[in-house]
Chain A
Amino acid sequence: METPDAGSALQPRHGHWLAACIAITLLPHAEHLPIWLSASCALLLVWRVLADRGLTPLPGRAVLLMVAAAMVASTAIEYKQLLGKDPGLALLAAFACLKLLESRTLRDGRAAVLLGFFLQMGQFLNGQEISVAAFTLCGTLLAVGALLVMEREAPWQAVIGSAGRLLFMAAPFMLALFVLFPRIPGPLWGLPADAFSGMTGLSESMSPGSISRLIRSGKIAFRADFDGEAPPPRDRYWRGPVLSEFDGRRWEPGLTTLASGPGYETTAQAYRYRLTVEPHNRHWLLAMDFSTTEDPRTRYSSDLRLVSVTPLRNRQRYELTAHPTAHAGRHEPEHVIRRNLRLPEGSNPRTIALGRDVADRVEAPAHRVDALLEAFRDLRLEYTLSPRPLGRHTADEFLFDSREGFCEHFSSAFAIAARAAGVPARVVTGYQGGEINPHDGSLVVRQSDAHAWVEVWLPDTGWRRVDPTATSNPTRIDNGIAGALPDLDSLPLFMQPRMAWLRSLQLRWDAVANGWNQWVLGYNDERQRSLLRGFGFDGGDYRHLAAAMVTLVGLLMLGYIAWALHRRQRGDALDRQWRRFCRRLSRAGTCRADWQGPLDFADQAAGRHPSRADDIRWIGARYAELRYGRNPPTRRDLADLETRIRHLDIP
């Protein structure tokens, strides 16, 4: 192996910087990496530090190759593949640490820093919260510091200071490029299958327990900003997947068609709002019942949802109008009605019997629904987040045996009973409620607001919402889940009432995070266009953007260069006074030649301006005395001189 000369060899202090940089960079990754990989990375970093302290030698190339092969193999086993986001990040992390152990020259060290930049970027695939950004900034600071320290020997505080100054000076460029770089919507090429694995949200189907699992997450599902008053809680039903196929245990969506117009008439009572949906990698928009929009990215599905043309893979904003009292689906085709009456053979016999019994007693469909609700009320069902596990006939066991369940149990059982009673019914999943953040006024809906309810179809009015959960527990609808559950301890910590301060803190933080989401993470092509339109540009053309970007960056760079070229005029306060004196005289027509000393010049000027001869001579003599005399001028001397010069008015 070649031995690098002293000038380009990696010194121990460089090694320390690099190790610190990679360690900080990997720290946020640790949460998402397999534990064995995090541990091996930590071990490799410690090895580097020990080697730099002279306690162990650095490993040879053969050892490193073996370690690398082992890590690649383990990654392949862990993820069952090597392509994709997660294994890619895992390999990158492993290679960064291995590169560090292999580094012997400054060139290697710089390569390790570049790998570090990649890893910092990789963090954003797992999340882009403010905390992640702060961590990345620390990592970038250390990485820039590592580059600096490889060019200059200095104590670490000074290096951190220089790196900070560099980043600070780079910030205007970042801002200009961030705002003006033409944003392109959507991916440029196919993404790995696991690209969006980290997103949470409703699933396409519903079985017992699927919603109560989601409830435990405090993550935000979407936000809504209403123009004016927000609708009351009982109208806040946010529509997700509509499930009309039941196989005895699981509810699945039925066949739907897409249209460019809504399947409902708009009404006078309307709420205009902006919906900011967190990415969930599905098509549905989670709009409030029943919304319309002009947005070209959306379609109306035949089951009354608003859906996006492309899956929501990043935070999106929509301008919507909700019409909660609209009649929807009055003219449903026959086959849809039939599908919503279908029940699997031999499943839930007791529930079906309950429905048939109601059908025998009551004639009108609307009354049958009321009778069913009455029957549910009589069963004295208990609303709980942790119901007992159920067997094969979920609805039967829920209604007649355990009598405790969550919204998915209520809605599933009610839909089955309604179908048995001859009323077309389906389950709708989505969110209900939400909380107004007092700090920015937006309505925040979390995963914990997930809900399932039932829609029944009545010949005159079309689809009508029925929430069987509300019959047993009306507070769920008005006060949200925390007010509805008796067993508070099973609630996630942030939802417990005695943690009010925590909750208030969280609301405050949510408001900040909302701003971050809206303005930093949500800054996309659309935002960019509207921002530029605000400045009077036609933002639609990327060429204008590119031109503006290049111009702004160029101007910034010129500004910096001008600053570098600008030299402060040399000289002290005394020189400044003298220059001022000379300027005054030159305005009056007497210029000092370069070879003229102060006394000489004063004599000449006094001759030219006899009325001020005394003053001029005095100033010349005084300057010479202060400049060349034994004692340095005091503040008083300077002040006197200044007054004299200021009061010198030459006719």
Chain B
Amino acid sequence: MVTAENPIRQRLSGLLDRRLFRVRREESLPARLGHRRIFVLPTATGVAFGLTLLTMLLASMNYVLSLGYALTFLLVGVGLVGLHQTFRNLVHLELLSANMEPTHCGQTAALRLRFRNPSEHARIGLRLRRSGGGECRFTLAPTSDTTVVVAIPTQRRGWLDAGRLVLETRYPLGLVRGWSILTPAARCLVYPAPETPACDFPATVAAGQSEQTGRLGEDDFSGLREYRPGDPLRHVAWKLSARCDDQIYTKQFDGGSAAELDFDWHGLPPELDTEARLSRLTRWILGAEASGLAYSLCLPDRRIDADHGPAHQRRCLRALALYGIADGNA
């Protein structure tokens, strides 16, 4: 774990989460915030408000001010109604869905949450925070739904869970903080960060092109072949395909099919550590995919045969992201 938190504190907060806040490991969606899951406590201002009221009460008693009592008690009422409204601002809110898109390490991962307000009153001043970074504020009109995006900064490759989200509000008076803890079952892959600056592709090993190295231009047209699903659209020979009735052709470029790039873990310079290797491989994969080249990936624990296209890229990046990490779900 990268987080350097005090382990005792972590265990304590875990215990609190389970026992007091009834946090489930991963809840199924859609979820509705029942009253048992909503917690309210006074804020610092709320405590100051309470002390103010106490002083006012003592003054009323001392000076026997009937209206002093009345004002104090009215404000006590305001505090209690504020508490009730804070509670009402959260209760019965529904979290419809949560999803995340894969991203590269160092970029922010977007956690998209869809909330619905089934009630006749607006939900105001909601604040969604994720422990470990990411916050956003939103308001929900009566009987409406909205998508909220929490930008989560990423620091490690591998699986990124939506994690423990705190939905909180201080509406209406800022005297009371109401909150509920959400643990939606959503996660995404964080791919390794692509290496910068980009490093040249490794030498190809395909036959007949022995001296040809990575710098493969896209203007070295070498021929045509029948379209195969997965070919990049911009390599399709549209004019030619339009002339022929039921055939689509794909332009082939020099080295394209002939020179398959082989991104081999073992071929990398020995001075690179694991993460640096993964970064370089990631950069190569992104580069090769952008150039429409086929590539294979060889890692110490698995090998992915040469191909190209988004699905192939995803498979390769996933392998890189999860390299050396126990994949709980795969």
Closest residue of chain A to B91 (Cβ to Cβ) is: A564
- Residues of B within 8 Å of A152, CB to CB, are 124-125, 171-172
Residue A144 lies at the interface, judged by CB distance under 8 Å to chain B = yes
Q: Say whether B81 contacts A117, CB under 8 Å.
A: no
Closest residue of chain A to B90 (Cβ to Cβ) is: A564
Q: How far is the CA of A170 from the CA of B53 in the complex (A)?
A: 15
Within 8 A of B (CB), among A341-381: none
Within 8 A of A (CB), among B57-88: 58-78, 80-82, 84-85, 87-88
Partner of B76, one of A125, A169, A177, A521: A177
Q: Say whether B174 contacts A121, CB under 8 Å.
A: no
Residue A184 lies at the interface, judged by CB distance under 8 Å to chain B = yes
Q: Say whether A191 contacts B70, CB under 8 Å.
A: no
Residue B222 lies at the interface, judged by CB distance under 8 Å to chain A = no
Residue A565 lies at the interface, judged by CB distance under 8 Å to chain B = yes
Interface size on B, residues (CB 8 A): 50
Residue B45 lies at the interface, judged by CB distance under 8 Å to chain A = yes
Within 8 A of B (CB), among A184-214: 184-189, 191, 195
Closest residue of chain A to B127 (Cβ to Cβ) is: A7
Residue A240 lies at the interface, judged by CB distance under 8 Å to chain B = no
Measured CB to CB, the closest approach of chain B to A151, in angstroms, equals 5
Residue B308 lies at the interface, judged by CB distance under 8 Å to chain A = no
With contacts A111-B48, A174-B74, A189-B62 taken as known, whether A567 is within 8 angstroms of B67 at the C-beta atoms is no
Q: How far is the CA of A185 from the CA of B64 in the complex (A)?
A: 7
Q: Say whether A118 contacts B52, CB under 8 Å.
A: yes
Measured CB to CB, the closest approach of chain B to A132, in angstroms, equals 7
Closest residue of chain A to B45 (Cβ to Cβ) is: A110
Residue A178 lies at the interface, judged by CB distance under 8 Å to chain B = yes
A-B contact count (CB 8 A): 154
Q: Say whether B45 contacts A107, CB under 8 Å.
A: yes
Partner of B67, one of A106, A128, A183: A128
Within 8 A of B (CB), among A530-589: 553, 556-557, 560-561, 564-565, 567-568, 570
Q: Say whether A564 contacts B84, CB under 8 Å.
A: yes
With contacts A114-B49, A561-B84 taken as known, whether A173 is within 8 angstroms of B125 at the C-beta atoms is no
- Residues of A within 8 Å of B59, CB to CB, are 121
Q: Say whether B77 contacts A314, CB under 8 Å.
A: no
Partner of A140, one of B58, B64, B65, B75: B75
Residue A181 lies at the interface, judged by CB distance under 8 Å to chain B = yes
Q: Say whether A124 contacts B68, CB under 8 Å.
A: yes
- Residues of A within 8 Å of B76, CB to CB, are 170, 173-174, 177
Partner of A117, one of B35, B52, B87: B52
Enumerate chain B interface residues (CB-CB to A < 8 A): 35, 44-45, 48-49, 52, 55-56, 58-78, 80-82, 84-85, 87-88, 91-92, 118-120, 124-125, 137, 170-175
Excluding A169-B77, A170-B81, 20 further A-B contacts by CB distance (< 8 Å) are A7-B137, A110-B48, A117-B52, A124-B65, A124-B68, A140-B74, A144-B78, A148-B172, A166-B82, A170-B74, A174-B76, A177-B73, A178-B69, A185-B64, A188-B58, A188-B62, A195-B63, A522-B66, A561-B84, A567-B92
Closest 4 A/B residue pairs (Cβ): A170-B77, A173-B77, A177-B73, A564-B88
